[in-house]
Amino acid sequence: MSTGPMSTGRVAGKVAFITGAARGQGRSHALRLAAEGAAIIAVDLCGPLPSVEYPLATAEDLADTARAVEDLDRRVVAVQADVRDLASLERALSLGVAELGRLDIVSANAGILSSGSLAELGEPAWREMIDINLSGVWRTCKASIPYLIDGGRGGSIILTSSVAGLKSYPNMAHYVAAKHGVTGLARALAIELAPHRIRVNSVHPTQVDTDMIQNDVMYRLFRPDLANPGRADFAEASRATGLLPVDWVEAADVSSVLLFLASDDARYITGAALPVDAGALLTKLS
């Protein structure tokens, strides 16, 4: 089945399932893959969560992503779904594959951030973090893999971890634990799925300029020395975490890596943990 008129590009004719696609990196991934010829199944929670202090995406954000994909002349199925709920992901995939005909690429990108020392953080915040940032990635894979295997054409699964999936940071042990778990999940799945020519890799961004980090919670976490830190104060501290002289990376930088891993250019790359970190893994600063 065609995924849109004149499908050309590095993922032409393929269909990608992206969680957390309403905004930020997920939207950027959707647009980048669509620009390179893919049709998109986009899902997002589109609602608030008890442990998350910054605003999450809205239904309007998800509709904007869908419109932007269509503006690129690509087909899209956008559905509200919660990575804490396997049945909601299965429903979204069932709708999307019925409409678009196949599944080739999976971007398990949805995630949240909250902070606090182990002493401060209660069990609800721990549970919510693990349920979304680790178990949610597992559910995304669980729901998608049958379609990839049944398609018989191989596939590419890209799990969004973080620099915090390879290195530890204080005051977010639950995030660090979840993201390290994602790194392990990618490596384990790479072994299981290789016989089906399904590749599984993880990406590990440093700070990315999205709503997840451009908020007061993050500013305070990075600048505990200041009473009322702002974007510029955060930029200074954020820049110090990497080697390259940049304040943070852009969502588009992560999308470029995701596109590479999704495309046949990476056809023999599986089980890799690819940093997009401006050198942060080589610094002592966190």
Ligand X SMILES: NC(=O)c1ccc[n+]([C@@H]2O[C@H](COP(=O)([O-])OP(=O)(O)OC[C@H]3O[C@@H](n4cnc5c(N)ncnc54)[C@H](O)[C@@H]3O)[C@@H](O)[C@H]2O)c1
Catalytic residue numbers?
175
- Shortest distance in whole angstroms from residue 262 CB to ligand X: 16
Looking at beta carbons only, is 45 or 193 nearer to ligand X? 45
Candidate ranges 21-29, 31-39, 92-100, 263-271; the one touching ligand X (CB under 6 A): 21-29
| DSSP one-letter code for 264 | G
Assigned token pair, 237: 């501290």
231: phi then psi, degrees, rounded to nearest 5? -55, -45
Looking at beta carbons only, is 7 or 31 nearer to ligand X? 31
- The only residue of 9, 205, 229, 242 in contact with ligand X, by rule CB under 6 A: 205
**Distant-in-sequence contacts of 1-9, Cβ < 8 A, 24+ apart:** 1/100, 1/101, 1/102, 3/37, 3/38, 3/39, 3/74, 3/75, 3/100, 3/101, 4/37, 4/39, 4/73, 4/74, 4/75, 5/73, 6/73, 7/37, 8/37, 9/35, 9/36, 9/37, 9/38
Site string for ligand X, 207-246 (x = CB under 6 A): xx-xxxx---------------------------------
Please tell me whether residue 96 binds ligand X under the rule CB under 6 A. no
Please tell me whether residue 115 binds ligand X under the rule CB under 6 A. no
Assigned token pair, 177: 């634990």
Per rule CB under 6 A, count of chain residues that contact ligand X = 29
Place of tokens 């940049």: 246
**Pick from 12, 78, 9, 14: which is nearest to 42 by CA?**
78
Exposed/middle/buried for residue 75 (C-beta within 10 Å: 0-12, 13-18, 19+) = buried
Give yes or no for a contact between 119 and 132, defined as CB atoms under 8 angstroms apart. no
Give dist(CA 29, CA 107) in Å, integer.
Answer: 8
CB neighbourhood size of 35 (10 A): 17
- Shortest distance in whole angstroms from residue 122 CB to ligand X: 19
- The only residue of 114, 115, 156, 160 in contact with ligand X, by rule CB under 6 A: 160
Candidate ranges 76-84, 95-103, 144-152, 225-233; the one touching ligand X (CB under 6 A): 76-84
- Shortest distance in whole angstroms from residue 211 CB to ligand X: 4
Please tell me whether residue 57 binds ligand X under the rule CB under 6 A. yes
- The only residue of 3, 30, 36, 44 in contact with ligand X, by rule CB under 6 A: 44
- Shortest distance in whole angstroms from residue 2 CB to ligand X: 28
Looking at beta carbons only, is 3 or 44 nearer to ligand X? 44
- The only residue of 83, 141, 200, 278 in contact with ligand X, by rule CB under 6 A: 83
Q: Which residues have C-beta within 8 Å of that of residue 101, sequence separation ≥ 6? A: 1, 3, 15
- Shortest distance in whole angstroms from residue 62 CB to ligand X: 8
Assigned token pair, 9: 């590009």
Please tell me whether residue 193 binds ligand X under the rule CB under 6 A. no
Interface with ligand X (CB under 6 A) = 19-20, 22-26, 44-45, 56-57, 82-84, 109-112, 132, 136, 160, 162, 205, 207-208, 210-213
